Amino acid sequence: MAGKARIVTQGVKLGIKYGPQIWVATQALREPAKEAANKAISSERARRQAMAHATSLADGSILKVYRGDQSHWVVFSGDEPVGVHPQTDLPAAALVERADLTKRIRPGDKVRATDRAKDAATAALRRGKPNQIN
């Protein structure tokens, strides 16, 4: 029991000593953290909209491009850009002018690391090498 009391005492002392500094730091960092989270959420929402749009097209695919610090998802039908999510005043052709079109994502592609790992493990098992994943 003496060890627990000592830990609690040390925790209270550190809280009294550094508590005000931690409070000021959390107040200062709250807004940038909110902005970063909102940016990530809006990018994911735009990706879902773009993927739904690409699914409805013949040979549809999407590509993530950046304009400044904001990400945009360009929707392709074949090799022709047909839309941008979220909407922007810049034409889609101008957004993909210098982009690497080989990095486009098709609706059936495995985009999560866990999906790719499962596929690699399945392929290794089929080759007869259960302990080696290449």
- Report the chain's mean pLDDT, rounded to a whole number: 85
Please check the confidence at residue 114 and state whether its pLDDT lies above 80: no
pLDDT in tens, 98-110: 888 888 888 877 6
pLDDT in tens, 47-97: 999 999 999 988 899 999 998 888 899 999 988 999 999 888 888 888 888
Residue 132 pLDDT level (bands cut at 50, 70, 90): low
pTM of model > 0.75: no
- Inter-residue long-range contacts of 96-102, CB under 8 Å, 24+ positions, other chains counted: 96/63, 96/65, 99/63, 99/65, 99/74, 101/63
